[in-house]
Structure 1
Amino acid sequence: MSVSDRTLLVLLLLLCPAALWLPGLTVMYYPEQVFLLQRLPWVTLAAALLLSQVYQQGRLSFLVILSSLMYGLIQLRLQSSLSVPQTELEFWLMGLLGPAIALGLVALPDQGPFHRKGWLAWALLLGSLALLAGLTQATELSLALHEWMRPRAFLFWQMSPAPLLLVLWQLMFACAAWLLYLYRGHSGDMAAMLICASLMLVALGFARPLIAASVFAALGIVLFVLVLQHGHQIAFLDDLTGIPGRRALNLALQRLGRRYTLAMTDIDHFKSFNDTYGHDVGDEVLKLVAARLSRVRGGAQVYRYGGEEFTIVFAGKQPKQCKAYLEAIRQDIAEYPFSVRAHGRDEDSERGRRKRGKGGGESVQITLSFGVACRSSAAPVPERVIKAADTALYAAKKAGRNCIRMARAS
């Protein structure tokens, strides 16, 4: 789990107790603020929706719209007692349809609400609303569901009127969204999980006053942070390798102290490798190298400088302290087995399938050259340190590649 994921989950864990305790505290000590609390979800969800449009996050936009529709349904239709069969039916249907719609939205293409291809998501949302409206008009269904659900409610009825089956249904979809996020890493999958979890909290505590307002206000805040986190990834993470890019490096260099060491490294013979095996294989090599470099010890941070070149920053360390860490990672990458098809993809699909079935992978060695420099009187600013490390990298290339060379001390 990445640092950003852990940060988001910690925020969620902090907001959940606040969402559960805030209604009671507001009603008891600040009754005049009830009006503001009821409107707070509209503010937080609107902010999340606006930011998702700025970063062109279509799935997140539709998920925020779904959250707004559910909160609007609660405010407009579910303010009476659940002992009324009609209200109870709408409550159960919202709890059942909400998680399914959220998972359906993340399964659709990532198109925004105003994109011409976003009609599928609109059709899912509006079709679900039409289904909900149609089912709630069926009086016999309301009575039948009321008689069937009531004996299956939790034993602590006064605290939670939610049937166990409903909560298990929501939990199942929340787990499915979480597994999907672990597999794909899409922010929309995380948002779907958060919506399912919010519906669970509302279902479990629906007997509490203002529970929906506080939970959906917290949901809006977390969705806003999720969109903001995605924007940070767009700005500072390299799209191909997933590690910090050049912009993140420039910011990090501004925050370094008076003692630091930089290592510039690139992949040996990468151009000829690309020409031989193709750019798709070259991209796989870049992702592999980035992943292996990220394991370097010594508190280092790795950045993609550009092309096949990477920068490794050791804050507060001298070159002699860093050489052992760089040597270990150089050897690790040189010994890592990497296999490619020797002659690329066969244009004939049937012949290509037969070749893949037989294996035919060619084992190649990936090596890196390193140039290392530190801040000194000759290189007092990061730009000069990078230039010195580049000069040392060129010396490593001339020395035969797959080695480390230190910049000449001033």
Structure 2
Amino acid sequence: MYSRLLLTFAIMFAGLLIPPLFAVLSVDQQSMLVELPSILFLLVIVLSHFFKQGRSGFAALLMLVAYNLIQLRLQTPLAIGSTLLEYYFLVLLLPANLVLLLFLPERALFSFKALSYHAIFIFQAAAYYWFIQPEQLPLVTHLLTAIEPWLLALGDVSVLPNILLGLLICAVLTAAILMLFRDVASDQAFLSALLACTLTVVEFEQQWISASMFMMSAVVLLLCILKRSHEQAFIDELTGIPGRRALNIDLAQLTGKFSIAMLDIDRFKKFNDTYGHDIGDTVLKMVAVQLILVKGRGKVYRYGGEEFTIVFKGKSAADCVGYLDEIRLLIADYPFQIRQPIERRELQLDERNSKKGVDKTVNTKSKADSSITEVNKTVQVTISIGVAQGRSSMTCPEEVIKAADQLLYKAKEAGRNQVCA
């Protein structure tokens, strides 16, 4: 998380180095680069629709509208007409909407559930359009006269009042904190958009600043979309390790000697039936976390259900036994704790007694007390492993997997919690 946060800040601040480069380009090249952010934002919007990443799509839509407003409406001196008020509107509304989307649930960009989001944006666009009409100029002048003393009470930075700069910094910090404390891929996109907005308005008098910063934000948005799409395709959502599709692709590229280990959690179905699927999911996560510690440069995949696969390149099965035995013992020695509310245990006991025809009366007060009491129970989780070796010129990986699977069942028949090679 920290590396992604620092990388986002580094990319966006690197955008400050781009405006001087515009000066050495031809007029046609400059025009092309000015249009590039709009093209990239449109691309993000299209990809967000197909890859079901509506939050990033909404961020791109907001940035697209803001960028075109800057290019079409804010290229004249701020003292002329309603330009200054439009500038203040942009500084307030763009970060406010981006922060709002940070806390709203994921919605597909073009879906019925997202109509409320579109309604909010359309209402703001209508209000903005009404204010910029020439007949509203007296009202605009009156509003500027009324709000400017308040906005400038704390001074200004460049053409940006300090009070607005403070709000922008708060928005950036909000996105950064959320990015650190929750694992939501689109948070990085929102942080880049807020940084682009902040750096643009702070350096607003610098030529080409909006094109540079919004282009960098569009690149980060595009990378986030592609990264998230890759994770959806190849990373197992529950355990966070590569899934079956990633395994199949990597197996097709194996060369030379290799070994494949098939691993299975012992008595996992019984575990699920006894403690529930939520606890079962926690077991899968714990096992995955331990497996990625395997030595010998083994790469771990979730094969499906409670089965995992480890691929060792350039290793024989005999070489891998030590690595696998070490990881087997690590999991077997892990103190896996299960927290069960007493009330649930009493209800399970009631169900058993009712089946036996026993009438048991439970005191209401004791039930109320037991609902806030938990019992910690430590259980042992073990795995059985089968490992087989192959060579790309002689055996296909599917045959090696089949052989490893047969050895896995041999390990289970021999008493479980062991490696069979």
TM-score tier by shorter-chain length is 0.7 to 0.9
- From 164, 171, 174, give the equivalent of 2:172: 174
What CA distance in whole angstroms lies between the structure 2 residues aligned with 1:342 and 1:368? Answer: 27
TM-score normalized with structure 1 length: 0.87
Q: What residue in structure 2 maps to residue 210 of structure 1?
A: 208
Tell me if 1:20 matches 2:16. yes
Provide closer, same or farther for how the CA distance between residues 188 and 15 of structure 1 changes in structure 2, counting only shifts above 3 A: closer
CA displacement, residues 174-201 of structure 1 (integer Å, 9 cap, x when unaligned)? 2222322333322222221111111122
Aligned 8 A contact 1:268 1:402 in 2: yes
Structure 2 CA distance for partners of 1:9 and 1:261, relative to 1, 3 Å: farther
> How far apart are the structure 2 equivalents of 1:99 and 1:237?
32
CA 1:268–1:351: 2 relative to 1, 3 Å: farther
Q: Deviations over 1:148-203 (max 9, x none)?
A: 5456223xx4xxx3344433422322222232233332222222111111112212
Deviation at 1:323, TM superposition (A): 2.8
Question: Secondary structure of 1:240's partner?
Answer: coil
Are 2:255 and 2:392, in contact at CA under 8 Å, matched by a contact in 1? Answer: no
The residue type paired with residue 96 of structure 2 is A
* 1:269 maps to 2:259: no
1:114 and 1:351 map into 2 onto residues whose CA distance is 52
Q: C-alpha offsets along residues 271-317 of structure 1, whole Å, 9 cap, x if unaligned? A: 11112222222122112211221222332211000110000122233
Q: Which runs of 5+ in 1 are unaligned?
A: none
Aligned to 1:227: 225
Deviates more, 1:69-78 or 1:263-272: 69-78
* Structure 2 Cα separation of the partners of residues 34 and 378 of structure 1: 54
| 1:36 counterpart residue number | 32
The match for 1:139 among 138, 141, 144 is: 141
Match of 1:201 in 2: 199
From 177, 188, 191, the equivalent of 2:189 is 191
Tell me if 1:398 matches 2:413.
yes
TM-score (norm 2): 0.85
Deviates more, 1:361-370 or 1:240-249: 361-370
- How far apart in 1 are the matches of 2:73 and 2:392? 72
The answer to whether the 8 A contact 1:261-1:314 is kept is: yes
Change beyond 3 A, Cα 1:46–1:21: same
Query: Partner amino acid for 1:239?
Result: E
- Does the CA-based 8 Å contact 2:12-2:196 persist in structure 1? no
Give me the CA root mean square deviation: 2.9
Query: Residues 132, 328 of structure 1: CA spacing in aligned structure 2 closer, same or farther, 3 A cutoff?
Result: farther
Listed as ranges, the gaps of 5+ residues in structure 2 are 133-138, 351-363
Say whether 1:367 aligns with 2:401. no
2:240 is aligned to: 242
Q: How much does 1:132 deviate?
A: 5.0
Q: How does 1:39-188 map to 2 (within 5 A)?
A: 39-84=35-80, 86-130=82-126, 132=128, 137-150=139-152, 152-154=155-157, 157=158, 161-188=159-186
Counterpart code for 1:405: C
- Which secondary structure state, in structure 2, belongs to the residue aligned with residue 223 of structure 1? helix
Which residue is 2:325 aligned to? 327
Q: Which has the larger radius of gyration?
A: 2
8 Å CA contact 1:48–1:221 kept in 2: the answer is: no
Q: Distance in 2 between matches of 1:92 and 1:342?
A: 55
Give the Å deviation of 1:22: 3.1
Match of 2:135 in 1: none
CA distance in 2, matches of 1:398, 1:275: 22
Contact 2:234/2:242 (<8 A) preserved: yes
Count of aligned residue pairs for this structure pair: 397
Provide the secondary structure at the position in 1 that maps to 2:105.
coil
Other structure's SS at 1:357 match:
coil
Q: CA deviation at 1:326?
A: 2.0
Deviation at 1:143, TM superposition (A): 2.7
Q: Separation in 2 of the partners of 1:180 and 1:60?
A: 15
Following TM superposition, by how much is the alpha carbon of 1:367 offset from its aligned partner in structure 2, in angstroms? 0.6
1:125-159: CA deviations, max 9, x gaps? 234435556777543331344345456223xx4xx
1:385 pairs with 2:387: no
